[in-house]
Amino acid sequence: MKNFNRYITLVFCLIIASPLMAQTNDNSNLDNAEVVIEKNSSYEMQTMGREYDKIQRIEKKVKPQPQNYELELIGMDLNDSLPKQLPAVIDDHEEKKYYSKYIRVGYGNFITPYIEGGVNSNRNPDFDYGVNFLHRSSQEGSVSRKLSAGSHNAIDGFGKYFSDYGTTSFSLGYDRVGTHFYGVEGDETQISQDSIKQIINNFGFKIGHEMPSYLTGNSYSLKGDLFFDYTADKFNASEMEIGVDINGEYEMLNDAKIHVNLIGAFNQYKNQTTADQSIDINRSWVKLGGVYEATFDELYIKAGAKIAYSADSSSFDKGFYFYPDVFVEYTIAEDELAAFLEVKGDLNIVDYKALTNENPWVSNDLTLLHENKLIDIRLGADAIVGSDIGIRGSIGYAIVQNMGFFVNDPSDISRFLMAYATEGNTGVFNLNVAGSWTQREWMVTASTDWNMYSIGDDMIAEPYHKPLAVNNVSVVYKYLSNWTFKANIYNKIGLKALEVDAQTAEQNTVSLPMIFDMNLSAQYKINENLDAFLLVNNLFAQTYENYYRYNVKGFQLMAGVGYRF
C-alpha cells in the first residue's frame, strides 16, 4: 500500500496532516487525502523559509534535509490587491540544493511593489532559527484609484533547539493589513482616503516542547504549546487570546494507538459600537478529545469522542457540547479502490481574528458567536483509474447551530455584520468530486464543490455570501528544467447578498453575478540562484464581487526576479 499512499499524495496535492485529534491516520491503507484548490481574487506571495520539523535529525543524527525555494504562482487574496506565490511543483529527479538566504522583488500594475526576503540557518546541529519579512502594496485599486488601495506587511521569526529531551521551539510574528472601505455610497470625489481607511494589526507568539516516543524510551509521545495572540484594528476593536495545546499519544500492541488532545484559551474581545456602547466579552473556550485507532487487515477504524465548553457570555453560545469522532476506511481493491465513512462534530471557534482574515471590511457593531456543528456525516471513496488518474468523491450532510453569514450593515453598506441562524439549525448537504491526472511534465487537477443550505431561522432567507458551488481546473506544465507554466480557471456560482433599506427596513436579496476567472503564470530558472517570473491575474478583466459592493480589480500583471544564496 505504500505506492498507493504515495500516489494519493501526488494525486490530490495535499494530505491533511492532522494533529492528534484530526481525521487523518498514519496506519490506514489509504491516506485521507483532500484536494484544496482555493481562489480569492488576486495573487499574493507566501513567505518562504518558515519553521519546519526536524525531529528526524534527533533520531538519526544526520544533517538536516535541504529546503528548496521554487516558485508556483497562483491568484489568491481577499481584497484583490496583492501578489501571491507558493512553492512550485519540483521535478523529483532534480538534485536539490539548500539556500539559507533569499530575496524576491517584483512590480505590477496598479502601482504594486513587492519585496520579500529571509535568512534561515540550520548549520548548527542543535539549533535552527530564521527571520522572514514581506512587503506588498497596491497604491491604486478597482474603485477610484487610491480609495481602494491596499497593503500587507509582515515579519516573523522562529527557533528550535534539539536535545536528548526533545525539541523546544518558539515562533513570533507581526502582521499588518491595510485596506479601505471602498464599497461606500455617494459621490466618490467627496470621500477622503483617510476617512475610510482600515488597518488590522496582529501579533502572535508560541513556545512549545515535543518528546516523541523514541526519546521517552516508552510507548508514549507528548507535545505541548503555549500560545498568545493579539489582534486590533484602527478603531476600537481588539482581541487577546492566550492558551495551551497539549497532545499525547500511546502506542499499543498491533500498531493500535490512543490519542488525546486538550486545547483551550482565555479570550477577551473589546469594541466600541457606532452607538458609542462599550463591548467587553469573555469568550474563553476549551476542548478535550480522545480516540482509539487500529487497523484490521483492509479495515482501518478510529473511534472516539470530544467534549467542548464555551464560556461566551452570549446566551446562544455558553455551555458544554459533546461530539462523536469516528472514521472508518475499507480497502476494496488494493492500490485501486477504498471507501470511507466519517461521523464527527466540533465547536468551530469564530473570533475577531478569523473573521477579519476572511473579510477585513467588518463593522464595529460586529457580533461574535461560535458555530456548533452538532454532527457531520460523510461517505466517500478514493480510486485509481489506470496508472495516472486519481479520483476522490464524497457526499455529506451536517447540522449546525449558530451558522454565521456576512451581511451588509444597513446603516453603512460598506461594512459587514454577521447574521447568525440562532432560532433553528442549519442543514448543509455537500457534494465534492476532485481528480488529478499526472504524466511526466504535466499535472492537471480539477474539483467541484457544492453546498446546499437549509436554514431554520426565518430571519435569514438565504446563505448570504456563501456560494452554491466552487469549481476549479488547474494545469501545470514543466518544460525542460528551466520553465514552469501554470493556468488556473476558477468559477463560483450562487452568491447572494442582503440589502436592507435603513429607513424602511425593507429587505432585498441581491444575486451576485457568476464569477469566472483565469490566471496564468510563468517562471524561468536562469541559473541555480536566479529566476524570473511573470504573473497574469484576472485575464478576462472581470470586476466581480466576492463581497457585495466590493469589486475586485481587473487585469493584473506582475513581473519580478528571485535570488537565492
Q: Which position has the grid cell 493584473?
A: 556
512 pLDDT higher than 80: yes
Q: What pLDDT does residue 87 have?
A: 30
Residue 92 in this model has a pLDDT that exceeds 60: no
With cut-offs at 50, 70 and 90, classify the pLDDT of residue 345. very high
Give the pLDDT of residue 534.
96
* pLDDT value, residue 399: 98
Mean pLDDT rounded to a whole number for the chain: 84
**410, part of any domain:** no
Specify the higher pLDDT residue, 217 or 539.
539
Check residue 331 and give its pLDDT. 95
Total Cβ atoms within 10 A of residue 345: 22
For residue 539, pLDDT over 80 is answered with yes
Residue 258 lies in a domain: no
Query: Given the C-alpha cell 482581541, which residue does it identify?
Result: 239
3-class state of residue 200 by DSSP: strand
Please say if the pLDDT value at position 51 is more than 70. no
| Residues facing 47 on adjacent strands | none
pLDDT level of residue 329 (50, 70, 90 thresholds): very high
- Could you list the residue range(s) of the whole structural domain that residue 168 is in? 100-251
Q: What are phi and psi of 146, to 5 degrees?
A: -70, -20
Sign of the C-alpha dihedral, residues 140, 146, 147, 149?
positive
Q: What is the pLDDT of residue 313?
A: 77
pLDDT value of residue 49: 34
pLDDT at residue 89 in the model: 30
Lowest mean per-residue pLDDT among 70-79, 254-263, 408-417: 70-79
**Residue 245 forms part of a structural domain:** yes
What one-character-per-residue DSSP string does 481-517 give?
A: TTEEEEEEEEEEE--EEEEE-TTT--EEEEEPPPEEE
Q: Cβ of 484: how many Cβ atoms within 10 Å? A: 25
Q: Which ranges constitute the DSSP H helices of 299-415?
A: 352-358
Nearest-CA neighbor of 524 among 486, 471, 485? 485
User: Dihedral, CA atoms, 184, 187, 190, 195, nearest 10 degrees?
Assistant: 0
Burial of 21 (C-beta count, 10 Å sphere; 0-12/13-18/19+):
buried
Give tens-digit pLDDT for 266-325: 999 999 999 999 999 999 999 999 999 999 999 999 999 999 999 987 767 789 999 999
Question: For the segment 547-564, what is each residue's pLDDT rounded down to a tens digit?
Answer: 999 999 889 999 999 999
Q: What is the mean pLDDT of residues 372-379?
A: 98
CB-CB contact of 149 with 70 (8 Å): no
Domain assignment present for 141 = yes
Pairwise pLDDT comparison (9 vs 335), residue with the higher score:
335
DSSP 435-452: EEEEETTEEEEEEEEEEE
Q: 316 or 522, which is more confident?
A: 522
- Cα 202 to chain centroid distance, Å, stands at 17
Please check whether residue 106 lies inside any domain of the structure.
yes
What is the distance between the alpha carbons of residues 369 and 548, in angstroms, rounded to a whole number? 22
Residue 31: predicted pLDDT: 38
The grid cell for 45 is 506571495
Q: Write the pLDDT tens digit of every residue in 136-154.
A: 999 998 888 899 999 999 9
In a domain, 247, yes or no: yes
Which pLDDT belongs to residue 335? 83
pLDDT of amino acid 543: 87
Is it the case that residue 370 has pLDDT exceeding 70?
yes
Distance CA 47, CA 32 (A): 27
218 pLDDT band, cuts 50/70/90, is confident
pLDDT for position 46? 35
Residue 535 domain flag: no
Q: How much is the pLDDT for 28?
A: 38
Q: Which of the two residues, 24 and 235, has the higher pLDDT score?
A: 235
Residue 195's CB is within 10 A of a number of other CB atoms, namely 10
pLDDT of residue 62: 31
Is 499 within a domain?
A: no
* Number of domains making up the chain: 1
CA dist 481 and 409 (Å) reads: 52
Q: Note the maximum CA span of the chain.
A: 73
State mean pLDDT over 23-39: 38
Confidence of residue 211 (pLDDT cuts 50, 70, 90): very high
